[in-house]
A and B are shown apart, each in its own frame.
Chain A
Amino acid sequence: MSYAYLFKYIIIGDTGVGKSCLLLQFTDKRFQPVHDLTIGVEFGARMITIDGKQIKLQIWDTAGQEAFRSITRSYYRGAAGALLVYDITRRETFNHLTTWLEDARQHSNSNMVIMLIGNKSDLDSRREVKKEEGEAFAREHGLVFMETSARTAANVEEAFINTAKEIYEKIQEGVFDINNEANGIKIGQQATPTNPALPGAGGAGGAGNSGCC
């Protein structure tokens, strides 16, 4: 699968906020949201198109790595984008955002794009964190904000793609050093990044493609 760029993402946030579900929801459209099924995965990739270019998003959920200092400090650095997720029905997951953000800011490269996600927006009746609070937090810390639902797939696409757009803009502005893979950006094998989209590379990448057969 050829692409112009590969962006590496990480998903961070408390356990149980639906990180791996968001990831699966975005990377593999064949898993359609079902009301009584919680299913997630910790790794996934998908091709998207921005500005006529094929961009592969590779997403790493970092669950279970919190126990060791060496691990937490290293995984932030390899990513170009981060989704910081909280659960709108659990106030404490919102309260922990500052800690997550501090960690991310301390260890990541300064250009990493961070998007704040209030997940489980479908459970409005059990909402504990107002949308305005999320917005205010995002504004205060210079993040992009969105409320999503992995269960209804609402805004999931947008969350990942908007983050990618922001990274892409930063590349265009020359902020990101794309020759340095430590920044979480890889230039694809596609010889010239200006190539028009290759046929067959569209739609869901990786496993996602098989659905079209």
Chain B
Amino acid sequence: MFRSRSWFGGPWGGRPKNRLSLEHLKYLYSILEKNTTVSESNRGLLVESLRCIAEILIWGDQHDSLVFDFFLEKNMLSYFLHIMRQKSGGSSFVCVQLLQTLNILFENIRNETSLYYLLSNNHVNSIMVHKFDFSDEDVMGYYILFLKTLSLKLNTHTIHFFYNEHTNDFPLYTEAIKFFNHPESMVRIAVRTISLNVYKVQNSSMLRFIRDKTAAPYFSNLVWFIGKHILELDTCVRTDIDHQSNQKLSNLVAEHLDHLHYLSDILLLDIKDLNAVLTEHLLHKLFVPLYIFSLTPAPPPPSLAVVTQNLAAVLNRNVDIDIQEMHNPRVSSIVALYLLSLVFLVVSHAPLVHALAWVILNGDHSVFKEGAAEILNSYVEHRLVVVPGFGEPNESLEQALDTVVGHASSSYTISEDSGVESTPAAAPTPTIGEDAASRLYNITDEEKQLLQQTTATSPAFSELTKPFLDTVLQTLDCTENDYLALLSLCLIYAMSHNRGIKNEWFEHVLSKSMRGSFSYKTALIEQLLSIITQSSQTSSRIRLITVEIALELLLTFTKSAVDEALCITPAQQSLLFGARNQSMLVLRNFYKSEDIFLDLFEDEYNEMRKTQLNVEFLCMDSNILLPPTGTPLTGISFTRRLPCGEVEKARRAIRVYFLLRRTCQKFLNEKESLLPLTNVVNLVQVENVLDLNNSDLIACTVVSKDNTKQRRFLVIDALQLILVEPDAKLLGWGVAKFVGFLQDVEVQGDKDDSRCLHITVHRGGVTNNRTPLLSAKFLFDDHIRCMAAKQRLTKGRSKARQKKMYQIAQLIEIPGQMDSPIYSVCGTVAHNSNTRMVQKGASLTASRVPGFAAVLRSNNSAGVSRTQMAQNRSLEGIRNESGSRARRRSPNAGSNSPSTLRSDRDRSPSISGSHSSSQSRENSQPRSTGARSRESSPRMPRPRSEEIPLEDFQHSRNNSPHSRSGLSHHSPCSRSHTPSRVLHHDQLSTHSGSPREPTLMCTNALLSQINGGVTIAREVMPAQSSEETSFIGNDNDIPVTSTESKCKVRGTIETV
């Protein structure tokens, strides 16, 4: 205010001390009064006065109502108008201030009465129609926001201040929409907001004005504007084969989506009359003449056409070449398919999408002349027919609107040149009209029949050629690449999922559409299967996203209308399963070819689980408009391009297999039981309380990067590394403070300190977070413990990985791992459950290797069904695989080489075959399929590990009462008779960490020591989700063990 003081302190004087007061406003009024003419000399003063007025008025609105009364009483707005209209006053300098003051005024006023008073005289409307200097960006900005602010004040009461029914005057709207194609995007956005705010007001006479006087010119210009934009987009696609200007393309696409969403927002307001006009224009001025037209085969060169026609004339033959039509603008079919997809993805206004879908599914060339009259007549009683054709409106919006305002009193006849005929549509044939209308809103069975009749009975209907549908189906051919096919799939997906089109109608038309004996629906399914088959081949040129949509559509179109069941012919099903098997074959080639195969495999699974197919998001990506490419340098995400390099090829093979596996399971109505490889439910979580009695604990001090030290105990589970802290309440129990996957552990010694390890636990899988879960220095009590820890971790890591690799091998049926295909295994799982019981009966006490923690829910009781156990059949693999870890406990067990290959060999069919015949195995765990027996096949003993068993230092204690009690419940039937079998059981039970089979061990001479297992207590988990609980449940089936079912079970069997 210091700067301004100089003005007021000068010639005028008498300026009140308090800037925010009525007195000051009176003083400013006097300035306006004295300076009615704007000149160079008083411009600054006026600007500052206008600015201060805004300030005082808002202050007054919030504090002193007298201020506003004074403003209104003196009619100060008229001074504004007066200043604005002067030539020199019209300079942007003063106008910017005026507009800013008005903006502040209307934005900040809270008192509704004040607002009404401000609007009550016509000054605001006069300001709106004033021709400011819109070339000035600031004037434009303030002006359009002034209109926007006013539009936000619109409601059924205030509308009368803006719309004058008698003079047919609505400057707020008509002035705003003149800027609909302003180069500045923010201005266009404001215009759209204003128009939507206007339409939203429920005032019939205002809406009638909009419809009668402005809708046709506005919408025809808007549609032309969108169309021009599309031609630009098309040029960009045609010229940008090398992905060079994809930023420009993506902007054009985003801009087009803005238009489409705007149109959709208008249609969603559900103003019947307005929607009819808009639908008519969109359909007949853009969608049909440009989009659909572009689906027809490209015309011969014009000269040739003329020659043909002349020739035909000479020969007196009628050749149907419409020269006029040929010259119509068209876009490439890729763009046309894309744009049509977008329409169905964004717009759900039933008449529009229904008519457009009808044209695609049933239409022929006559539509370019007649439009989709048949459908539209059923929606609107007296249509304003718009002649199809894509072209510029003869009258610009501004001209048209000026006409409206100019001849306000005379009724506005829509001129012929704007392409609109004001003739009511030919009386719609009652049957079609009424049926179609009701059909769309609620389909009853009766109507379905009617529909059937209309489609089936009229031969003309079904025998008609359907050039557009033909084109769509033809583009599904992926022999060369999937460039067009992806967009066709998007279109079919969008049509079948559009809320405005009844699914039944869509499918019905599709399945009833015949040409000869050929049903379009069958053709579609066959095309989809062909895409799927091709995608499963090695070096397929089909992108992952295409496969995913094709599979999704296959499910959609095979879903029967009656129930949720999928109906598919045996031939089609075998094609699908053949593709699945083929993809498995391809995947096998990558098994282990990359060191990181396991990581890739798990990543891809998580990615697939995480990302839901979203075609709308896909279609926001302009890259799908360009030819498919393989290079990641384009920044295109993996699923939307071809793989680049071996790793990506492996990824692709994995993903294709997952997708096909998932789809096949849906057809078989099966639940996934083998994936993910890690069952999260069985994992120890942070803050879990673990029973660590008798388990191996290695004390250490964890020194993190910021030098904070924590005393922890290191526990190593089958899959996890756990850091625990003693539990305050329960002796021998610990609270997990950190958990990480062993497979992601990296251990390094310290060359200066033999008691020290550097341990990093990475975040597995694809995450944006690249910082490791844990990266710290571990200090141990002495170098022996340090060595032990290092060995455990290194081996734990490779074991965890081996185990999972084995699971994968089973999953993809690597020869030598399994006999029968996965799905047959899935089918037989249920049979296995009861056979496991016997074994369960004996397995109350977990036998574990020290240092391995396992989860056990102590409070789980009976009631777990046997089939639940079957769902956990993946456990089989886990147990088996982890068996290798136990080997070192056996007398002649040796070092475990990290080679997974070796352990795989161990499970070769011949070995398993010989053992499955062994009686002991059958006793404890009868198998119903060959596959099962394979899983349980034992391994050959390995050379003993040179690992230092930590328990030798720590555990001299023998069997705890708990484990004893467990032993006492030993069931003889599960006893094994041969040492090798026993060894195997040890392996199994050790690694699954579940309380079973201890008795086998105790009867065996090998058993010498029982260490405590790690038990999680104090948490209840869903019974069926955990393999342990299912076992406990089974335990209860056996009387002998039921007493034990509720007590905490622990104990680990240790061999020396």
Please give the residue numbers on chain A whose beta carbons come within 8 Å of chain B beta carbons, in ascending order.
6, 8, 20, 24, 28, 30-32, 34, 36-43, 45, 58, 60, 64-65, 67-71, 73-75, 77-78, 177, 180-182, 206-207, 210-213
Q: A34-B20, A36-B63, A38-B62 are in contact. Are A210 and B141 (CB under 8 A)?
A: no
CB-based contact B189/A65 at 8 Å: yes
Q: Which of B138, B149, B200 has the largest number of chain A CB atoms within 10 A?
A: B138
In the bound complex, do residue A211 and residue B3 qualify as a contact, i.e. CB atoms below 8 Å apart? yes
Is A70 a contact partner of B145 (Cβ separation < 8 A)? Answer: no
Q: Are B258 and A73 in contact (CB under 8 A)?
A: yes
Given the interface contacts A42-B149, A43-B103, A180-B247, does A37 sit within 8 Å of B137 by beta carbon?
no
Give the residues in chain B near A67, CB-CB below 8 Å.
196, 200
A77 to chain B, nearest CB (A): 6
B96 touching A206 by the CB < 8 A rule? yes
Q: Is the CB of B1 within 8 A of A32?
A: yes
Asked whether A37 lies within 8 Å of B149 as measured between CB atoms, the reply is no
Q: Could you show 12 A-B contacts with beta carbons less than 8 Å apart? A: A32-B1, A36-B62, A37-B55, A65-B189, A70-B258, A70-B264, A71-B196, A71-B262, A74-B258, A77-B254, A207-B100, A211-B4
- Cα–Cα, bound, A213→B185 (Å): 33
1/0 per residue, CB under 8 A from A, across B1-15: the answer is: 101100000000000
Instruction: Report B208-259 residues with CB < 8 Å from chain A CB.
Output: 247-248, 251, 254-255, 257-258
Q: Is B695 an interface residue (CB 8 A)?
A: no
Q: Report the bound CA distance from A8 to B196 in whole Å.
A: 24
Residues on A with C-beta less than 8 A from B189 are 65, 71, 74-75, 78
Q: Which of A20, A65, A68 has the most CB of B within 10 A?
A: A68
Instruction: With CB as the reference atom, state the residue of chain B lying closest to A209.
Output: B93
Whole-angstrom distance between the Cβ of B9 and the nearest chain A Cβ: 15
Check if B48 sits within 8 Å of A70, measured CB to CB.
no
Q: For A30, list chain B residues within 8 Å (CB).
A: 4, 48, 51
Using CB atoms, name the residue of chain B closest to A21: B108
Q: Which residues of chain A come closer than 8 Å to B20, judged between CB atoms?
A: 34, 37
Contacts of A64 in B (CB 8 A): 148-149, 152, 193
User: Could you give, for residues 653-665 of chain B, a 1 whenever the CB lies within 8 Å of some chain A CB and a 0 otherwise?
Assistant: 0000000000000
Q: Which residue of A lies closest to B60 (CB)?
A: A37
Assess whether B97 is interfacial by the CB under 8 Å rule: yes
- Cβ–Cβ contact A182 & B185, under 8 A: yes
Q: Do residues A210 and B44 form an inter-chain contact, with CB atoms below 8 A?
A: yes
Cα separation A64 to B142 with both chains bound (whole Å): 16
**Is A177 within 8 A of B247, CB to CB?**
yes
Closest B residue to A69 by CB, please name it.
B261
Contact between A210 and B265, CB atoms less than 8 A apart: no
A31 touches B255 (CB 8 A): no
Q: Which residues of A contact B262 (CB under 8 A)?
A: 68, 70-71, 74
The 5 closest A-B pairs by CB, nearest first: A70-B261, A213-B44, A78-B185, A70-B262, A182-B251
B145 touches A71 (CB 8 A): no
Q: Is B59 at the interface (CB under 8 A from chain A)?
A: yes
Q: State A30–B2 Cα separation when bound (angstroms).
A: 10
User: Cβ of B186 < 8 Å from any Cβ of A?
Assistant: yes
Q: Which residues of B contact A (CB under 8 A)?
A: 1, 3-4, 20, 43-44, 47-48, 51, 54-55, 58-59, 62-63, 93, 96-97, 100, 103-104, 107-108, 137-138, 141-142, 145, 148-149, 152, 185-186, 189, 192-193, 196, 200, 247-248, 251, 254-255, 257-258, 261-262, 264-265
Given the contacts A39-B104, A65-B189, A65-B193, A210 and B257 also touching, CB distance less than 8 Å: no
| A75 in contact with B186 given A30-B4, A41-B100, A180-B251 (CB within 8 Å) | yes
- Chain B residues whose C-beta falls within 8 Å of the C-beta of A180 in the assembled complex: 247-248, 251
Task: A8 to B141: give the CA distance in the assembly, Å.
Answer: 12
Return chain A residues, CB-CB under 8 Å to B145. Answer: 42-43, 60
Beyond A68-B196, A70-B258, A212-B3: 13 further Cβ-contacts under 8 Å? A36-B59, A38-B58, A42-B148, A60-B145, A64-B149, A64-B193, A69-B261, A71-B196, A74-B262, A77-B251, A206-B138, A210-B48, A211-B48
For B3, B20, B189, B262, the residue with the greatest tally of chain A CB atoms inside 10 Å of its CB is B189
A37 pairs with B62, CB closer than 8 A: yes
The one of B55, B137, B149, B255 that contacts A39, using a Cβ cutoff of 8 Å: B55
| CA A68 to CA B260, docked complex, whole Å | 13
Looking at the complex, which one of A45, A60, A182 makes contact with B255 (CB distance below 8 Å)? A182
Given A32-B1, A37-B62, A180-B251, is A45 in contact with B138 using a C-beta cutoff of 8 Å? yes
Asked if B97 contacts A210 (CB within 8 A), the reply is yes
Evaluate whether A41 and B247 lie within 8 angstroms (CB atoms) in the complex, with A8-B186, A30-B4 already known. no
Residue contact B186 to A60, C-beta cutoff 8 Å: yes
CA distance A34 to B21 in the complex (A): 13
Chain A: minimal CB distance from B856 (Å): 37
- What is the chain B residue whose CB lies nearest that of A34? B20
> How far, in whole Å, are A64 and B100 apart by their CA atoms in the complex?
18
Which residue in chain A gives the minimum CB-CB distance to B257? A73
- Residue with the highest number of chain B CB atoms closer than 10 Å, among A38, A77, A182, A206: A206
Partner of A42, one of B107, B196, B254, B258: B107
Residue of B nearest to A36 (CB): B63
- Name the residue on A nearest B264 (C-beta): A70
Q: How long is the Cα–Cα vector from A31 to B633 in the complex, in angstroms?
A: 50
In the complex, which residues of chain B have a beta carbon less than 8 angstroms from the beta carbon of A43?
Answer: 103, 141-142, 145
A74 to B261, CA, bound (A): 9
A6–B192 Cα distance when bound, in Å, is 23
Name the residue on A nearest B1 (C-beta). A32
* Chain B residues, CB < 8 A from A20: 107
Closest CB of chain A to B252's CB: distance in Å?
9
Q: How far is the CA of A65 from the CA of B262 in the complex (A)?
A: 12
Q: B141 touching A58 by the CB < 8 A rule?
A: yes
Within the assembled complex, what's the spacing in Å between the Cα atoms of A30 and B47? 11
Report the minimal beta-carbon distance from B179 to chain A, rounded to whole angstroms.
14
Nearest-neighbour CB distance to chain A for B193, whole angstroms, equals 5
Q: How far is the CB of B213 from chain A (nearest CB, A)?
A: 23
B55 engages A31 (CB within 8 Å):
yes
Assuming the contacts A30-B51, A71-B196, asked whether A77 and B185 have C-beta atoms less than 8 A apart, the reply is yes
Which residues of A sit under 8 angstroms from B107, Cβ to Cβ?
Answer: 20, 40-42
Nearest residue (CB) in A for B260 is: A70
Set of chain A residues within 8 Å of B44, measured between Cβ atoms? 210, 213
